[in-house]
């Protein structure tokens, strides 16, 4: 990946904006962006409650939007940025889309895909921990609200 740490943080901040939209809508605050040639081509946040759809995770919506943008189901030249480690479903979708780079912020110890091994495309490169504290803080805020 030819991107710098600054670039990764820039794109993750864009994903964090999406996660904040989810938080405002009382959705689990996860946001995602897809980048192609240093341009964001898709933005999304969790909308499972709004759409009454368990598959409406930020990553799934962003992958669909990116595929529509490029006119191809394969996103081999794209990078997915997501604020929290993808679940098994989203990692599988990233693999099927042939995403070669997946970057996430906070680890998800309970339902993150890494518990089950590497589910990404065999050629995919994974980078974890970009702005992890900020990404994790949104999740903590959301679940603290739910416990009140």
Which residues fall in the annotated binding site for Zn(2+)? 57, 87, 90
Phi, psi of 54 (to 5 degrees): -65, -15
DSSP reduced 3-state for 58: helix
- Alpha carbon distance 69, 61 (integer Å): 12
Between the two ends of the chain, the Cα-to-Cα distance in Å is 42
**Residue 133 falls in the annotated catalytic set:** no
User: Which member of 14, 27, 59, 108 is catalytic?
Assistant: 59
The CA radius of gyration of the chain, in Å to the nearest whole number, is 14
Residue 100 and residue 77 in contact, taking contact as beta carbons nearer than 8 Å: yes
- Alpha carbon distance 35, 22 (integer Å): 20
State the catalytic residues: 59
């Amino acid at each position: 990946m030819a991107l710098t740490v600054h670039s990764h943080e820039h794109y993750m901040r864009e994903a964090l904006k999406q996660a904040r939209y989810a938080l405002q809508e009382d959705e689990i605050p996860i946001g995602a962006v897809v980048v192609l040639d240093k341009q964001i081509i898709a933005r999304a946040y969790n909308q499972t409650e709004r759409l009454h759809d368990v598959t409406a995770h930020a990553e799934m919506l962003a992958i669909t939007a990116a595929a529509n943008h490029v006119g191809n189901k394969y996103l081999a030249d794209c990078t997915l940025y997501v604020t929290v480690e993808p679940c098994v479903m989203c990692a599988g979708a990233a693999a099927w889309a042939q995403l070669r780079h997946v970057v996430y912020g906070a680890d998800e110890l309970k339902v993150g895909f890494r518990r089950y091994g590497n589910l990404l495309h065999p050629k995919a490169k994974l980078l974890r921990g970009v702005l992890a504290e900020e990404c994790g803080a949104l999740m903590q805020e959301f679940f603290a609200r739910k416990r009140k």
